[in-house]
């Protein structure tokens, strides 16, 4: 594969850039045509790579792309999952180059989606192309590429249920996560779930002059701050009633195993430029993101947020709040518990609304499975070092759904690095990782 | 004056509307030319009304308009203060008509500035015009109209210090406040001061994926909420260290006098559509806005605030926070105390910045003064009922400065009503009040 990459590098860049140039932001209505264009472009790339059939399939939301090459029903089938939608780009002013005009700088591609997940799914298309063109393909290969991962995959579960036979496979292969570091390759064997809500706190029925009413009428921003502040106690526990009921405590042995993953707290703090970390008492930083649930405010707004000063006592305040869940916590249940709790703690002088956004459950992948073993062997060969099993903090809620609907385990071979700052300005993807990923995937097919 | 209003009503509307059509938003850089245009228009109106001289005077910020008619140095001199700048109009979508295209609906003028303060200062120009044209003027009259009241009058104090002689007068007459209600005319005999700051809380040095970091890294929005929440205790007291040190407690007698102002809590709550009021324990609603200081968040923002969901753990969170102060609290001192306190309570895992916006001191006006008595008599004649002395919650910080610099007491004859929703969408001014204001001012000159 190394040589194939060398010979085809420029074409690879052109093809990947053609995907990255399409602003397929799934959360913004205005990008609907871009979603369709991106799906069509993927169909072309799949066909060019060697898929016998590939097409765009409508769903209730953004379309899915499905493509496949079936060579022999007696051979194992690999279902590649990826997503072609990307996160919004704001704050746009912090980007050093146009998020939708990819640039190679310092050995990395800079663009929204360079890593998440256009860059990573592209590795699978090229690994597949290599296997097809060199006659080395010994698996049936299917691709399911969705356009709604960044908004919680609201349509794919239903589509997968209706097209269960089409998606039948032995393993779901996914590259949409990170490795621990460049020098510590890792394979993700568990991910957190997600519950995401938007809350609205209404005080008076109109914006008021803060001089005339300040001190006498509850300010919804102050109240929202009080309420948010009460959601996490001084030990870092989430106070939502029933929040921890279904959390399975890991055994001391399991915690010891996970703590083998190398981690340098000093480097971590330096990378983020923070003096101290903060989290649940009694757990390490890796445990806090790996095996423990948490609650974060992802956005807050209310009152006057323009330049200068305005003495307003606003009518409403809003926040987007998400909870990361661990396996066995049910996303829908947590969303309901949050809603009940948030309404229960709302004081008399405000009205509150809670609107659920997307969510999803966490899941675990057995380290002893043949697929995990094949990935381990492949990455050991490419990186010259055995990958560590890790528990990722992020969520790909749809994978737990697909696991349940199709009865197939996912395998997460992610090649992203923290430095890629996905979801943030200046998202990037190291060329080194892009190519190592392609090689690892080709070898995965060899050993699986 | 009644008859004069009837005969000139249409011209009055045209003239006032010509002011209201100019979007003189002082806080937004883009409106700088509008500020100049509005100042020029005021000079025209002052000259047409009978001022012997009137002109636009540059300051470090937006210009001031000064005009005067001196008839006899032995006669008392009235200095009319007003401001021609207005608040921003957002949220613009809540306006029922263009904020800068005034409309008369249901007996009121709707436009930004209809009341605050273009509508109210216009009453003074027309009262002055009437006195000049009917030969009834028995005072020297000066007008000082500034363009920076809504941003805290950063330039007027310096200009007034340099032009002390030009501004020499016996009383500063101001209409920039409200009456208790249409049926309860009142004269404001004290106003709260203001300290206004903007805070910024920085956590990690970049936006992070909340899945990868959530639970392990302090989220600046959550931290900001914690910090804001801690600024007011459960009894409604502001916790900023030293905040109440200079507050003078009113005597039981004084509190009893103030409580004579009619107030219907049920109506108040209904007007605001709130179930409960909220404020400092031990004080009534009128006391909370009249004689007690308070703290309000005027704006908050951070993270993803667009449509849909984004799982970001943001790098920064911001808030605009203001404190209303009572006489004897020094605005600069309170701003410093806030800054010290906010930095002291900031936990190790974030950095905080505090940027002071404008501020100003509160002040009191003696009820026994000849000017107050003249106003009382004038309003009693117009409204058929004796006005109540009131303590207003709002702030006109510059008046405390002018009082100090020029050694002249201000008198606040305000004709606004709560229904006018100044600073909010659909600001309005009742024609009834506009005309009653003009009549009251003419009578004030008669009795002063």
Q: What percent of the residues of chain B are helix, what percent strand, and what percent coil, each to the nearest 5?
A: 35, 25, 40
CB of B155 closer than 8 Å to CB of B148: yes
**Is A210's CB within 8 Å of B296's CB?**
yes
CB of A331 closer than 8 Å to CB of B380: no
CA distance B123 to B435: 8
| A414 Ramachandran zone, left/alpha/beta (phi>0; psi -120 to 50) | beta
Q: DSSP letter string over A401-434?
A: HHHHHH---EEE---B-GGG-TTSTT-EEEHHHH
The conformation of residue B29, written as its DSSP 8-state character, comes to G
**Which residues in chain A touch residue B310, judged by CB atoms under 8 angstroms apart?**
27, 87-88, 150, 298-299, 320, 423
Res B340: pLDDT:
98
Res B394: pLDDT:
67
**Cα pseudo-dihedral B213, B215, B216, B220, rounded to 10:** 80
β-strands B410-412, B171-174: how paired?
Answer: parallel
The conformation of residue A92, written as its DSSP 8-state character, comes to G
Structure tokens at B30: 């883009």
Structure tokens at B80: 């009319």
- With an 8 Å Cβ cutoff, is B229 touching chain A? yes
**Which residues in chain B touch residue A288, judged by CB atoms under 8 angstroms apart?**
215-216
List B residues 297-356 in contact with A (Cβ-Cβ < 8 A). 297-314, 317-320, 322, 324, 347-350
What is the gyration radius of the CA atoms in chain A, in angstroms? 23
Match 């309003």 to its residue by tokens.
B379
- Average pLDDT for residues A124-139, to the nearest whole number? 98
Strand order in the sheet with B316-325: A351-360, A193-202, A316-325, A294-303, B294-303, B316-325, B193-202, B351-360
CA distance B33 to B23: 9
How large is the angle between the packed helices A431-447 and A118-133, nearest 10 degrees? 50
- Burial code of B394-430, b = ≥16 C-beta within 10 A, e = fewer? bbbbbbbbbbebbebbbbbbbbbbbbbbbbbbbbbbb
Poorest-confidence range of A79-83, A159-163, A208-212, A216-220? A208-212
- Average pLDDT for residues A390-413, to the nearest whole number? 85
Query: A32-61, pLDDT tens digit by residue?
Result: 999 999 999 999 999 999 999 999 999 999
What are the start-end ranges of the E strands in B169-238?
171-174, 186-191, 193-202, 208-209
HSE value, Cβ hemisphere, 13 Å, CA-based, for B405: 20
CB of A365 closer than 8 Å to CB of A402: no
CA distance B398 to B406: 12
Nearest to B116 by CA among B424, B375, B409, B432: B424
Interface predicted TM-score (ipTM) of this complex, two decimals: 0.75
CA distance A261 to A254: 12
Is the Cα dihedral B396, B397, B401, B407 positive or negative? positive
Query: B137-159, pLDDT tens digit by residue?
Result: 999 999 999 999 999 899 999 99
pLDDT bucket at B254, cuts 50 / 70 / 90: confident
What is the gyration radius of the CA atoms in chain B, in angstroms? 23
CA distance B33 to B37: 6
Nearest-5° Cα angle at B19, B431 to B118: 55
At residue A121, the 3 state secondary structure works out as helix
User: Residue B330 class from Cβ within 10 Å (0-12 exposed, 13-18 middle, 19+ buried)?
Assistant: middle
**Which residues in chain B touch residue A320, judged by CB atoms under 8 angstroms apart?**
303-305, 309-310
Nearest-5° Cα angle at B257, B251 to B262: 135
Res B118: pLDDT:
98
- With an 8 Å Cβ cutoff, is A276 touching chain B? yes
Res A80: pLDDT:
98
Cβ atoms within 10 Å of A293's Cβ, excluding its own: 26
Structure tokens at B70: 């001196």
CA distance B339 to B200: 12
CA distance B190 to B250: 13
Length of chain A: 448
**Is B297's CB within 8 Å of A324's CB?**
no
**Which residues in chain A touch residue B28, judged by CB atoms under 8 angstroms apart?**
306-308
- With an 8 Å Cβ cutoff, is A93 touching chain B? no
Res B361: pLDDT:
81
Structure tokens at A329: 């916590």
The end-to-end CA distance of chain B, in Å, is 17
- With an 8 Å Cβ cutoff, is B207 touching chain A? yes
Query: B30-86, pLDDT tens digit by residue?
Result: 999 999 999 999 999 999 999 999 999 999 999 999 999 999 999 999 999 999 999
| Mean pLDDT for chain B overall | 94
CA distance B416 to B435: 12
Query: A181-200, pLDDT tens digit by residue?
Result: 888 898 988 888 899 999 99
Structure tokens at B409: 């007491």
Query: B162-179, pLDDT tens digit by residue?
Result: 999 999 999 999 999 999
**Which residues in chain B touch residue A91, judged by CB atoms under 8 angstroms apart?**
207
Res A251: pLDDT:
83
Res B392: pLDDT:
67
The shortest C-alpha distance from B119 to chain A (Å) reads: 17
The number of C-beta contacts closer than 8 angstroms across A and B is: 362
CA distance A221 to A50: 56
Query: A140-196, pLDDT tens digit by residue?
Result: 999 999 999 999 899 999 999 999 999 999 999 999 999 988 888 989 888 888 999
């Amino acid at each position: 594969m190394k040589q194939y990459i060398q010979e085809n590098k420029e074409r690879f860049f052109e093809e990947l850039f053609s995907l990255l140039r399409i602003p397929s932001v799934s959360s913004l209505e205005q990008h609907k045509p871009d979603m369709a264009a991106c799906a069509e472009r993927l169909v072309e790339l799949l066909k060019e790579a060697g898929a016998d059939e590939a097409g765009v399939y409508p769903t209730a939301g953004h379309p899915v792309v499905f493509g496949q090459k079936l060579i022999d029903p007696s051979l194992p089938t690999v279902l590649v999952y990826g997503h072609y939608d990307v996160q919004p780009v704001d704050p746009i002013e912090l980007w050093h180059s146009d998020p939708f005009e990819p640039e190679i700088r310092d050995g990395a591609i800079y663009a929204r989606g360079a890593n998440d997940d256009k860059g990573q799914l592209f590795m699978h298309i090229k690994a597949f192309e290599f296997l097809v063109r060199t006659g080395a393909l010994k698996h049936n290969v299917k691709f399911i590429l969705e356009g709604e991962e960044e908004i919680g995959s609201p349509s794919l579960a239903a589509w997968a249920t209706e097209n269960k036979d089409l998606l039948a496979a032995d393993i779901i292969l996914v590259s949409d996560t990170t490795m621990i570091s460049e020098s510590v390759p890792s394979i993700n064997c568990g991910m957190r779930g997600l519950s995401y809500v938007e809350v609205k706190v209404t005080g008076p029925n109109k914006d008021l002059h803060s001089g005339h009413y300040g001190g006498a009428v509850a300010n919804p921003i102050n109240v929202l701050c009080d309420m948010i502040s009460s959601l996490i106690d001084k030990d870092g526990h989430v106070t939502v009633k029933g929040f921890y009921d279904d959390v399975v405590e890991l055994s001391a042995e399991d915690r010891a195993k996970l703590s083998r993953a190398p981690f340098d707290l000093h480097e971590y703090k330096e990378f983020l430029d923070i003096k101290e970390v903060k989290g649940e008492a009694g757990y390490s930083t890796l445990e806090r993101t790996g095996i423990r649930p948490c609650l974060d405010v992802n956005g807050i707004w209310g009152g006057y947020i323009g330049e200068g000063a305005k003495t307003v006592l606003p009518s409403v305040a809003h926040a987007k709040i998400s909870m990361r869940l661990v396996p066995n916590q049910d996303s829908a249940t947590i969303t309901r518990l949050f809603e009940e709790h948030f309404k229960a703690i709302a004081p008399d002088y405000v009205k509150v609304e809670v609107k659920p956004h997307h969510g999803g459950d966490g899941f675990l992948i057995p380290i002893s499975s043949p697929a995990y073993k094949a990935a381990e062997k492949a990455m050991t060969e490419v990186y010259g070092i055995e990958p560590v099993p890790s528990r990722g903090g992020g969520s790909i809620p749809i994978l737990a759904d697909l696991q349940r609907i199709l009865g197939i385990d996912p395998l997460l071979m992610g090649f992203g690095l923290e430095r890629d700052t996905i979801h943030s300005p200046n998202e990037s993807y190291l060329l080194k990782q892009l190519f190592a990923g392609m090689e690892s995937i080709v070898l995965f097919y060899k050993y699986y």
